[in-house]
Structures are given as C-alpha cells and as structure tokens.
Amino acid sequence: MRASFEILNKTIMLHHSALLVAAVTLAGCSAPPSPTSRPDPNGGITALESPALTDLVRVGKLPKLQDRLPEHPLQVKPYEAPGFYGGTWKMMVDDPDLGMYKMIAGYAPLMRWKADCSGLEPGTAEKWEYNAEGTQLTIHLRKGLKWSDGVEFTSADFGYWAQLTAEKNQKLTRPVWSITRGKEMVVETPDKYTIVLKFAGPNWFVPLNLATGFWNSDDYNMPRHYLQQFDPHVNPKYHDYSVFDKKNSSHFNPDRPTLWPWKLTQIADGGFKMILERNPYYYMVDTLGRQLPYIDTVVCNYVPDPQVRVLKLLSGEIDAQFRLVDLRDLGLYWEGRTSGDFRVIKWNEATGGESSFLLNWSAPDLGNRALLREFKFREALSLGVDRNKCNDVAWRGLATPQQATISREAWHFLTPEGKKVFEDWAKSYTDFDIPKANRLLDELGLTKRDAEGFRLRSDGKRLSIMIDAPPQKDSGPETDEALIISNGWKLLGIDAFVKNWPSAEYSLRQKLGKFEVSIHGEAEMDLFTYPDWVFPTGEMYWHSAIGKWYKNHGEKGEKPDGVTKELLDIYDQILNEKDINKAHQLVHKAIKIHTERGLFSIGTAANPPILVIVKNSFRNVPQEPRIMGPWAPAGPATSYPETFFFAPVGWKAAK
C-alpha cells in the first residue's frame, strides 16, 4: 500500500516539476503577458451595434439593425455592466469538433436551461404550452428571427428536420423523446411561427429535451434553404446524403448558416485554428437594447497537449478558458496571476461522483455477480473506502467526501424535502469502517481464507475483484482513487487490483457490461430526461443488461426483478405525471431506494471546483460559482457569454 502511494506522489511531483521549470523559464525571460484585445473606440455603450456592423450598414452590405433583429429579441441582463463592442477572444479546444466551444457559444435551443438549472426560459422560441393531456406541445417562435445569412428562421426549418429524421435516409434519426407508446411524433407547422408536436400519449418532458445540451439543438436547427440544395430528394445531382451530411456540419463547414452568436468563417493552420466572426443577425440584446454579442471575433486554438495548455494560460495567451483547466495545477495558476494578468475563478463542477465506482449488476463472473447483488456485500465495499484520503490525494482536499449521487444542484433537490433526500443519499454508508465491513462479509459466510489471507467464495475460489480504469496517460484522479480503494478492499480480505485498459477497450467493456467494477464521473441535473444514474433505462453504467431489456422492450437483455423492477416502475410513473412537483417526489422515492437498498455505484468525493481562467480586462464573467460541470444544461452558455466583453484601460464597473 505504501509503495503505491509513493509512486503516486512521485508522479504528481514530476508533473508539477516539469510545469514549474517551464513557468520559471518564461518568468526568467521577463516576457510580458500576451496583449489582450481592446474594444473598438467607437463601440461604447451609446453604440447599439458593433461598429464593424455599422460600417457594413453604411455601405449597403447589411440591413439596418431594426431589420436584422426579431420582433421581440431575447433581452439579457449583463452580469457587471453593459459592455463595449469589439475585440478577439482567444480560447483553447481539445478537439476539432469544437465540443468545448459549443458548450460556450453553440447553444441555440428553442428553450434554454436557466443558469441555476432551476427550470427553463425562452430561447429562439418565445413561449410554449401543452394541451391538458400532455399529448400535444405547441411552440411559438420569435417572429423575424434570422439565420446568420439573413434568411428568416421559421417552423419550416424544424419541419424539415422532422421530415428527414422520419425518412431515415441519412444519419439523423428520430430522438428517443419523440417516440411515445412505440409511435413516432407527428410534426405540424400551421404557420411560419408555430410548431405543433403531437404524441400517442403523455410526453411532458419534451421542452427539457429540446433545451438539453448543444447537441439536440445542433441537430434540429437545420437551415432548410441552404441544405435543400444538397438533398437528393430536391436536387437530382445528388444520389445519397453523403455531401448533405458534410454540408450540415456546423463545426466544419463555414458556409452553413447558423443561429450561434459567432459563425465559423475559417479553419486555418491545418485544422489547429478555428476562427468565428459575430453573427450580424443574432437575436439577443442587452438591457439597453444593444445587440449581442459584444465581442467581434473568437479564435479557437486546438491544443491537444495538456502541458502546452497550462503554459499558454500562464503566459497570458488565452483571454478566457472555461474548461480544460486542471484543478491539479491550481497552485501554478494562483502564483501566475500577476505575471499572466489574469484572475482565477472557481465555478461549480456540480458532480455527484469524482469518481463513481460502478458495481456491475450483471457481472460476467457468476460468483461475483451473486455477491455484487447482495446489499450487505455492497455496503461492506462502501465501508472499505477511505473517502478522506481520496479527496486529499486526488482532489487536493477541495472536493466533498460523499456517496455517489447525481449533482447536488439538480432541480430535484430545491425544496427542503429534496435537500434532505439528497443529504441522506450523500451520507449513506460513507464511514471508513474496516471492522464493520469485515463483520458484514463474515455474516455473508465469507469466512474461509486462503494461504495469503484472501477470502474464499462459496465455490472455493478466491474472492478477487478487478477495477477497470482508463489508460494511465489519460487518467489522474481515477487511477489515484482506484489504488486507494483497492488497498482498502484488501484490508477486507478481497484480492482487489486495478487494470488500466486502452481507451477504446475501456469504454467498450463498460458499455457491454464486461467489467466487475469500473469508473465513471457522475453528474446530472435532470433525471426526467437523463434517468440512467438512478433508473436502469439505458445500456450503460451499473445496469447495462437491464437497460438493454428496457430499451428493447424486453426483446434483448436481462429482465429486471426486485429492486431494478421497482425503479423502472417508478420511472414509468414519472413519464405519465403532469404535476412537476409530484414528478420530483417520485424521483425522491427512487433515490430513497438507492439510499436504503442501492449502492449500485460507490462514491469517493464530489463537486471539486472547476477553474475558470480570465484575463483581467475580460469582463461580465460571473465571480460567484456558476454550474459548469454537467454538459446537459450547457454551461457556461447558460450564463450568456454573449455579454462578455473587453474593457478599455481604466474601466471599472459601476457599484
């Protein structure tokens, strides 16, 4: 055990030593931080639009502002103050598909998650309503809202997406939320600004699905006027959808119109730099009626090497970075604030498991499967976890030791009853109690041991558990925690060991349920639309075989019984519940089952801060912690990056 931690500590020291040497080298050169963009001198708060757009209007290349905005723009209150126009925002991404960027500025849904994840607010749609039975959802679009090329965004665009997904001739298919009682939804567009979705039964959570993540809106926001020219049903020049699919890529095709605040205009440096320019038809304004966004240009640099990312941040090359900032490097950033001319802000990771250790309900080894289905055995495993050590070693003591849960900030826990349900869940079976854990295993009849002191199962085989972990090069906290847990379980007489798998194999083993114990971060703000952490509805996590049965309507997978059936029955009740408060109470009922008879995944620590690095002149970034960890509510997009701006020299926010 001591040897494992010595190796772990040396690895951490080497990681930081290399970065410290590089940082000291930079400081030794006395290189000033990279200059930050400054706003356009004509872009002060009296300007209603970016001066760059005013110039285009003046020469007749762009309509006037009032002709570019919808009838009722979405008004946004800036965090600090109305901003100045102009400047170029430099950030980093870790993949050319711009996933990290889309979490910032690729969020253009019909309805949006609020920044605190307490519910929804209008987006490109002004309002929406259900009929009494929950079988029809009517969505009202903003009149006059336009794509980035000036063509009006209408119900026909959504209808075009629905038509293509129903035809199943290209890669987009009907989403799960659109199918009720085995029947696909019917989409009607009675006029330019109205979308009507009809279902075979109650389907109360469609707005939540439409608002979730950048990926849903990225699918259904299809510029029909542009894409039809590549549609083989419209243009006989094309025989399949291969060209259509390429042209429909919002992150690879600069010609595709968008509803984003900044539009992709150029891919440079062999794909390592993506340049986006402001959308002149963007539908948001500030409280003074000034069009957003304030910033003119965004440059996304593809930087795959984590250490290079650290150095770029320390040298002041990055204006604002909302992800890819490792908590392990907090000390470096804190020391480098002055020389890099930036500030370090701590937002909420909003996780319920950093990490969660999934106990496979249908483990391949039948002997271990039988044990893993015993609640007393799962309780013993949980009591064998030193969560304080996990927090100190893996998270520098900045996380919260607790049981595996979904996010504390989830809207299911906003009421006093909900808060109590969560606290009971988070505190359940979290004592590090080796004597009690050993007694529980003895009570299960696991009293015989082999020559090395490991317990023997009823079939005479050594009780051995393998913990699947991601590749050592890709993991840090995961392997650290796995080593701590395996050493704790050895104190229980369990031959526990950690196996680092190649990335693809690691993910595949988890998806196919080929593991006994595997690792996954756990976070979720809404169990109505993403139930899988609590309800075994999908082929993933601790319930791959049960989830396959549910997903395939009993034709494949393993039929649920006992506690798994109880959970699925509760979820079916939720789907038919009109009253949102009663739906939350049903979630509480399911979580109480997890608290009293669950432990399907075992937690270590949760909710460490997520670091945000922001240049001092980059403003309107909330200082108090905002939710950013879970991807579903699309943080930080829900905090309106459209309002971020570069302040002129000497600027101070009015108190």
Task: Please state, in angstroms and rounded to a whole number, the distance separating the CA atoms of residues 209 and 215.
Answer: 10
The answer to whether residues 395 and 519 belong to one domain is yes
One-letter-per-residue 3-state SS of 455-494: EECCCCCECEEEEEECCCCCCCHHHHHHHHHHHHHHCCCC
Residue 26 lies in a domain: no
Q: Cis bond leading into 355, ω under 30°?
A: yes
Tell me which H or E stretch contains 101. Answer: helix 99-105
Residue 222 lies in a domain: yes
Tens of pLDDT along 20-33?
Answer: 444 544 444 445 56
Looking up tokens 């990056």 gives: 641
The answer to whether residues 551 and 634 belong to one domain is no
pLDDT confidence bin for 476, thresholds 50/70/90: confident
The answer to whether residues 198 and 178 belong to one domain is yes
Q: Cis bond leading into 636, ω under 30°?
A: yes
| C-beta separation of 497 from 467 below 8 A | yes
pLDDT confidence bin for 512, thresholds 50/70/90: very high
Task: Please state, in angstroms and rounded to a whole number, the distance separating the CA atoms of residues 624 and 621.
Answer: 9
Higher-confidence residue: 166 or 260? 260
Task: Please state, in angstroms and rounded to a whole number, the distance separating the CA atoms of residues 141 and 192.
Answer: 8
Residue 84 lies in a domain: no
pLDDT given at position 89: 97
pLDDT given at position 444: 98
The answer to whether residues 221 and 342 belong to one domain is no
pLDDT given at position 199: 97
3-class secondary-structure state, position 351: coil
The answer to whether residues 433 and 569 belong to one domain is yes
pLDDT given at position 285: 98
Q: Domain tally for the chain?
A: 3
Last residue of a domain, one of 219, 247, 275: 247
Higher-confidence residue: 416 or 26? 416
Task: Please state, in angstroms and rounded to a whole number, the distance separating the CA atoms of residues 344 and 613.
Answer: 5
CATH code of the domain in which 221 resides: 3.90.76.10
Which has the closest alpha carbon to 36: 653, 649, 651? 649
Residue 14 has pLDDT above 70, yes or no: no
Residue 8 has pLDDT above 50, yes or no: no
Summarize the confidence of residues 8-29 as an average pLDDT. 44
Residue 521 lies in a domain: yes
| C-beta separation of 50 from 90 below 8 A | no
Summarize the confidence of residues 264-290 as an average pLDDT. 96
Task: Please state, in angstroms and rounded to a whole number, the distance separating the CA atoms of residues 292 and 83.
Answer: 9
The answer to whether residues 156 and 205 belong to one domain is yes
Q: Cis bond leading into 223, ω under 30°?
A: no
Summarize the confidence of residues 156-183 as an average pLDDT. 90
Lowest mean pLDDT among 36-40, 377-381, 497-501, 616-620: 36-40
Tens of pLDDT along 390-402?
Answer: 999 999 899 999 9
CATH code of the domain in which 281 resides: 3.40.190.10
Percentage of the chain modeled with pLDDT above 90: 86
Last residue of a domain, one of 193, 212, 247: 247
pLDDT given at position 4: 36
% helix / strand / coil in the chain, to the nearest 5? 35, 20, 45
pLDDT given at position 171: 80
Residue 564 lies in a domain: yes
The amino acid that residue 237 corresponds to is K
Tokens of 524: 């979720």
pLDDT given at position 473: 66
Looking up tokens 């549609």 gives: 231
Summarize the confidence of residues 148-168 as an average pLDDT. 95
Angle of CA points 145, 146, 152, to nearest 5°:
95
Last residue of a domain, one of 203, 225, 247: 247
CB contact set of 300 (below 8 Å; sequence gap of 6+): 91, 92, 93, 98, 101, 273, 274, 275, 276
| C-beta separation of 602 from 403 below 8 A | yes
Residue 8 lies in a domain: no
The pair phi, psi for residue 324, each rounded to 5°, is 70, 20
Task: Please state, in angstroms and rounded to a whole number, the distance separating the CA atoms of residues 596 and 607.
Answer: 23
Higher-confidence residue: 103 or 475? 103
CB contact set of 114 (below 8 Å; sequence gap of 6+): 120, 121, 638
Summarize the confidence of residues 482-491 as an average pLDDT. 97
Structural domain that includes position 633: 32-40+260-349+610-646
The answer to whether residues 578 and 466 belong to one domain is yes
The answer to whether residues 555 and 437 belong to one domain is yes
Tens of pLDDT along 208-248?
Answer: 999 999 999 999 999 999 999 999 999 999 999 999 999 99
Residue 613 has pLDDT above 60, yes or no: yes
Higher-confidence residue: 403 or 552? 403
pLDDT given at position 474: 64
The answer to whether residues 122 and 229 belong to one domain is yes
Residue 602 lies in a domain: yes
The answer to whether residues 475 and 582 belong to one domain is yes
pLDDT confidence bin for 6, thresholds 50/70/90: very low
Exposed / middle / buried, residue 139 (Cβ in 10 Å: 0-12, 13-18, 19+): buried
Residue 379 lies in a domain: yes
The answer to whether residues 506 and 573 belong to one domain is yes
pTM score: 0.90
pLDDT given at position 15: 46
Residue 12 has pLDDT above 70, yes or no: no
pLDDT, mean over the chain: 92
pLDDT confidence bin for 3, thresholds 50/70/90: very low
The answer to whether residues 267 and 317 belong to one domain is yes
